[in-house]
């Protein structure tokens, strides 16, 4: 077929359009939602669910990146240091926001001021779980086993200096038993080692352990709520078993400080809409989470409240991180 002047013009126009077109994924024009812990577990699932809805609404590629390490600080730092251009967001449990400023005296950023609150997605309780090593069916049986097997009395948590870490220590103190802490990079690795019989206990969010409890791969022995969770009504709370231990956590979306308000508002609308959709509500409840969909102003007040609440107990515990 002869190359006519018309086809040459058409080819040139196509080449020009290609150059001017919006950059592709290969050119890194992708929106990142950073989750600062390992893949797997309830929070990672919710982060991916929200990211998919962001992709659909914004009509742009959106990925979840698991930036693990340093008890979540590597992932948070990546967002703090990212350009405030609406291309990088953080989906995180509350510990990285309200506990780390007290836990780590050398924290090189302040999550309360170096991040912009966007929206709270959900709240949750924490759970203490056991696997094949102990055979315990409740806290009374667990305490007997721990006293008989002090050399095996180890528990895993998603991170040192987290509420799962502190709540398990509170239980050990109340029960007058010794527990050795083994920090992991997120809940999934901790629960994996629990199921494999490598550790006796795991303290995580209740949502991370719910499906594994239902399938019989592990047993949740206690939860930290004022009342039993709706997803595991067979599991008594700490308080029901004689231990005055209560705690509530949350997962929220953040952006780097100084992100334009219009971008923050848009993502806030997406997160809240996603949380309130029937499929969002169903997903979170199945994971043992309570959907909330609270906006930026309310989230800012909640994080300030929780920062002040936990500062005292953390300091009183005497906990000193190794790094």
Q: Work out the average pLDDT over 262-285.
A: 96
Cβ count within 10 A of residue 2: 4
Does the model's pTM come out above 0.85? Answer: no
Do residues 63 and 32 make contact, with C-beta atoms less than 8 angstroms apart?
yes
How far CA 190 is from CA of 163, 193, 259, in Å, comes to 15, 5, 35
Q: What percent of the chain has pLDDT over 90?
A: 73
The overall average pLDDT reported for the chain is 89
Q: Has residue 5 been placed in a domain?
A: no
89 and 141 co-located in one domain = no
**Residue numbers of the domain that contains 236:** 126-241
Rg of the Cα atoms in the chain: 23
Q: Is the dihedral of CA 217, 173, 94, 319 positive or negative?
A: negative
Q: Whole-angstrom Cα distance, residue 62 to residue 272?
A: 17
Contacts of 10 (CB under 8 A, 6+ apart): none
**Spatial distance between the Cα atoms of 186 and 93, rounded to a whole number of angstroms:** 11
The pLDDT value given to residue 323: 57
Q: Are residues 306 and 225 in the same domain?
A: no
Which of the residue ranges 132-146, 275-289, 305-319 would you say has the lowest mean pLDDT?
Answer: 305-319
Q: Examine the fold and report which residue of 241, 270, 304 is the final residue of a domain before the chain moves on.
A: 241
Residues 272 and 288 in one domain: yes
The answer to the question of residue 8 being in a domain is no
Whether 215 and 290 share a structural domain: no
Angle at 123 between CA 117 and CA 129, to 5 degrees: 130
Coil, helix or strand at residue 312:
helix
Q: Helix (H, G, I), strand (E, B), or coil: what is residue 180? A: strand
Measure the CA–CA gap between 47 and 131, rounded to whole angstroms: 27
CATH number at residue 178: 3.40.190.10
Residues 104 and 155 in one domain: no
> φ, ψ for residue 126 (rounded to 5)?
-105, 160
Distance CA 293, CA 262 (A): 18
Dihedral-angle region of residue 28 (phi above 0 means left; psi in -120 to 50 means alpha; beta otherwise): left
Question: Residue 316: what pLDDT?
Answer: 73
Please determine, for residue 187, whether its predicted confidence score (pLDDT) is greater than 50.
yes
Residue 155: beta bridge partners? Answer: 181, 201
Average pLDDT over residues 232-248: 94
Residue 16 lies in a domain: no
Within this chain, do residues 278 and 307 fall inside the same structural domain, yes or no?
A: yes
Average the pLDDT over each of 78-92, 155-169, 309-323 and give the range with the smallest value: 309-323
State residue 6's pLDDT score: 41
The pLDDT assigned to 307 comes to 95
113 and 135 in one domain?
no
The Cα 193–Cα 180 span in angstroms is: 15
- Residues composing the chain: 323
């Amino acid at each position: 077929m002869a190359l006519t002047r018309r086809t040459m013009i058409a080819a040139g126009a196509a080449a020009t359009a290609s150059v001017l077109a919006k950059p592709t994924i290969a050119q890194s024009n992708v929106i990142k939602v950073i989750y600062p812990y390992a893949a797997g577990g309830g929070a990672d699932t919710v982060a991916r669910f929200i990211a998919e809805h962001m992709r659909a609404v914004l009509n742009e590629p959106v990925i979840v990146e698991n930036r693990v390490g340093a008890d979540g600080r590597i992932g948070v730092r990546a967002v703090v240091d990212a350009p405030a251009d609406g291309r990088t967001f953080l989906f995180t449990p509350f510990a990285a926001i309200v506990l780390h400023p007290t836990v780590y005296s050398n924290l090189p950023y302040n999550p309360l001021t170096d991040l912009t609150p966007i929206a709270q997605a959900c709240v949750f309780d924490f759970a203490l779980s056991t696997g094949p090593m102990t055979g315990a069916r409740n806290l009374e049986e667990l305490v007997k086993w721990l006293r008989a097997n002090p050399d095996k009395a180890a528990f895993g948590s998603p991170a040192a200096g987290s509420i799962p870490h502190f709540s398990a220590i509170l239980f050990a103190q109340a029960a007058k038993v010794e527990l050795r802490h083994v920090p992991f990079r997120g809940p999934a690795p901790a629960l994996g080692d629990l199921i494999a019989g490598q550790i006796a206990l795991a303290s995580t969010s209740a949502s991370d352990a719910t499906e594994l409890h239902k399938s019989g791969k592990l047993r949740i022995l206690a939860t930290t709520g004022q009342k039993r969770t709706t997803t595991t009504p067979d599991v008594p709370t700490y308080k029901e078993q004689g231990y005055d231990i209560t705690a509530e956590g949350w997962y929220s979306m953040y952006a780097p400080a100084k992100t334009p308000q219009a971008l923050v508002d848009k993502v806030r609308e997406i997160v809240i809409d996603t949380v309130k959709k029937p499929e969002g509500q169903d997903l979170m409840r199945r994971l043992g989470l309570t959907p909330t969909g609270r906006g930026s102003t309310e989230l800012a007040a909640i994080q300030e409240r929780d920062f002040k609440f936990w500062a005292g107990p953390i300091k009183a515990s005497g906990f000193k991180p190794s790094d």
